[in-house]
A and B are shown apart, each in its own frame.
Chain A
Amino acid sequence: MSSTTPAAVEIRGLHQVFQRRGHDPVRAVDGIDLTIGAGEVVAVLGPNGAGKTTTLDVLLGLATPTSGDVRVYGLAPRQAVAAGRVSAVLQSGGLLRDLTVRETVRVIASTFPHHAGVDAVIERAGLSALAGRKVAKCSGGEQQRLRFALALLPDPDLLVLDEPTAGMDVTARREFWAVMRAEAAAGRTVVFATHYLTEASDFADRIVVVAGGRIVADDTTERIRSTAVGRTVSALADDPAAVAETLGRLDHVTSVTVEGDRVVAHTRDSDDVARRLLTTLSGRDVLVTSADLEEAFVALTETARPTDRATETGA
């Protein structure tokens, strides 16, 4: 035992290039460095094709990186998996349709020398009533809960979730995160990939934004939210162009547009903009609205694009 506890995840200089016959190679991951401490709940946020799944695959020992070093609790990923330190809920697929829920848990349990108990994980995933049902007859949300039960079997210190709620309806999604909160509260490190900013900010303490195979932002959920989200303040003005120019000079205003008689400003400090509009700028009919989360997310990841032309070819 060393005196310092190793980080849950330690990724250094990760690159993953896929060669395709007759096409340019795809740089799915183009230089990622990331350290995640024990007990953190981290969202990896990014659009489809950003390199989230590729990074998680390497973290789980399911793929070998082109270059870079990845450690999970100081171990190589495959060793960490074999030791039951890390487990995961993967994207759709991966279940045998002709097995029952309980049989699936039993078969995966049989591969571990020690496990948390077949009935125990079925219960924790809320599947007790469905234990005898065939996988083929389970809904998408139920199948996802089954994958979650499988992930709990090794009693992992690190739980990795790749788009865990994809294909779930709102109710199933809410139930899933409720169960997950209990696991995180019990002290597990949780890393999950998502392309919903709402999901990331509702559940994670920290958000890592990935686009074009690189990390474009990495901060506490609160800060990411305020940078990404902000507020929109708008008002009617007699001389909208002049008001727009004045507001545009403020540091916390990220964009200003004029729509007819109305000036629309996007800002991180809505109070200040509103105060100025109502006093010195003599604006009328002031509206303050929360920016749409998804729009903000697009803005956040789009900024990474210009430097990443070469990586835009898909993945």
Chain B
Amino acid sequence: MNTTYLLLEVRRIVRDVPALFFIVALPCFLYLIFGATQDYADEPLLHGNVALYITVGMAAYGAVTATSSIGGMAAVERAQGWGRQLGLTPMRDWQFILVKTQVAVLLALIPVVGVFALGHATGAEGSTTAWAVSALAVVAGAVTFSLYGLVIGLAFGSESAVNAASGMLVILAFLGNLFFPLSGTLLEIGRFTPLYGYAGLVRYPVNEGHGSSSPMEAGRDPDSLLWLLGNLGFWTLALGLLAVWLVRRGRPRQ
């Protein structure tokens, strides 16, 4: 394990203040608006309350923003010739991927710690298992979304495309039912979008696939674990295959 490289990557991220804003500050702010300050925040769910449910959702949004930017920047760095520079060292491709994955995990931990701490301080409640398993699921699932940034970065090779992809995550998070409860047609469409499975899985420890029981969600069937896993599995596989195809397409000539 190359700790020098890893620590330097962490330092690069800490220096990038605007990015940190989107990763931690924005999710915290969203939690306060949609969670802590609402009167339904204290309503009980199966293994916690609504405030915890919203805490987990916002942390997940911050985490995917973080990991997709890592994936995107990895692709852009290589497009700009850093891959050739590393090609002149003993470092292998898999070691580069390992460093970036470690960075993605570390970065995904920042919103989890930040939003969970804020939630804990402002009324989010739940079983220890609900807190712990949700936190783990947020980090583990977020790592797969570095593929989303990677695909965009590989396809367009520019920083602005990666930034646009982060912006697109807002729409995907909305459709994925992360920000506030969807219903009707939007929900039917949302069930197939990339973040839906992840959003449902990270909150499963809190309410087992049921919605947050807010008035808008009355009468909705719970999501099955199978559907949520299927959604995440499908999108991970699709993005993974797309990434492999893009890498092969870009290989013959720079």
Residue pair B81, A94 in contact (C-beta under 8 Å): yes
- Whether B90 lies near A81 (C-beta < 8 A) is yes
A107 contacts B4, C-beta separation under 8 Å: yes
**Chain A residues near B88 (CB-CB < 8 A):** 60, 62, 81, 87-88, 90, 150-151
Q: How many chain A residues touch the partner (CB < 8 A)?
A: 31
For A62, A103, A110, the residue with the greatest tally of chain B CB atoms inside 10 Å of its CB is A110
Bitwise interface map of B from 6 to 30 toward A, beta carbon under 8 Å scored 1, else 0: 0010011001100000000000000
Expressed in whole angstroms, the Cα–Cα distance for A106 and B4 within the complex equals: 8
Can you add 13 more A-B contacts, CB < 8 Å, to A98-B12, A98-B16, A111-B89?
A19-B252, A61-B87, A81-B87, A82-B90, A90-B84, A94-B82, A94-B84, A99-B8, A108-B85, A110-B5, A111-B90, A111-B91, A150-B85
- Distance between Cα atoms of A21 and B15 in the complex (Å): 43
Quick check: is B2 within 8 A (CB to CB) of the other chain?
Answer: yes
In the assembled complex, 28 residue pairs joining A and B whose CB atoms fall closer than 8 Å, in A order, are A18-B252, A18-B253, A19-B252, A62-B88, A81-B89, A82-B90, A87-B88, A90-B81, A90-B84, A90-B85, A90-B88, A92-B81, A93-B81, A94-B82, A95-B82, A96-B12, A96-B77, A98-B15, A99-B8, A103-B11, A106-B4, A106-B8, A108-B86, A110-B5, A111-B86, A111-B89, A111-B91, A151-B88
Across chains A and B, which 7 residue pairs bring their CB atoms closest together, nearest first? A93-B81, A94-B81, A110-B4, A111-B89, A111-B91, A82-B90, A94-B85
Of all chain A residues, the one with the shortest Cβ separation from B16 is A98
A105-149 at interface with B (beta carbon < 8 Å): 106-113, 147
Q: Taking CB as reference atom, which chain B residue is nearest A94? A: B81
Does chain A have a CB within 8 A of B183?
A: no
Contact partner of A95 (CB less than 8 A), chosen from B2, B4, B11, B85, is B85
In the bound assembly, the distance between CA atoms of A18 and B89 in angstroms comes to 25
How many residue pairs link A and B with beta carbons under 8 A? The number is 69
Q: Is B224 an interface residue (CB 8 A)?
A: no
Partner-A contacts on B (CB < 8 A): 2, 4-5, 8, 11-12, 15-16, 77, 80-82, 84-91, 252-253
CA distance A112 to B5 in the complex (A): 12
Q: Which residues of A contact B (CB under 8 A)?
A: 18-19, 60-62, 81-82, 84, 87-88, 90, 92-96, 98-99, 103, 106-113, 147, 150-151, 154
Q: What chain A residues lie within 8 Å of B80 (beta carbons)?
A: 93-94
For A61, list chain B residues within 8 Å (CB): 87
- Nearest-neighbor residue (CB-CB) of A82 within chain B: B90
A18: chain B residues within 8 A (beta carbon): 252-253
Q: Which residues of B contact A98 (CB under 8 A)?
A: 12, 15-16
CA distance A90 to B80 in the complex (A): 12
Tell me if B12 and A111 are in contact (CB < 8 A). Answer: no
Compute how far the CA of A157 lies from the CA of B196 in the bound complex, rounded to whole angstroms.
55
Chain B residues with Cβ below 8 Å from A150 are 85, 88
